[in-house]
Amino acid sequence: MIDPTEAEIAAMQAASAPAGEYIESLGKTDMAKFSEAEWMQFIEVIVTAYTDAMIAGQAPMSAAAA
């Protein structure tokens, strides 16, 4: 991502905790040792948290624009 907006940076920060929690739940810190299913779930955790944060951040902006 080139020149992320403040909202994108906030969404990345919001995705960090769930990503870390998932890694801790696996008990593995070496991502090279993740199975394919673990890797796919890791990506899903990040994308879902990022998307949720972007949507949540959009609601106040939409209300302000109305």
Q: Assess contact for 46 and 15: CB atoms under 8 A.
A: yes
pLDDT of residue 5: 92
Report if pTM > 0.85: no
What pLDDT digit, counting tens, does each position of 8-55 carry? 999 999 999 999 999 999 999 999 999 999 999 999 999 999 999 999
Q: How far apart are CA 39 and CA 26, in angstroms?
A: 11
pLDDT of residue 64: 54
Instruction: List helix spans (H) across 1-66.
Output: 6-26, 36-65
Q: How far apart are CA 59 and CA 61, in angstroms?
A: 5
Tell whether the model's pLDDT for residue 59 goes beyond 90: no
**pLDDT top residue among 63 and 43:** 43
Q: Assess contact for 26 and 38: CB atoms under 8 A.
A: yes
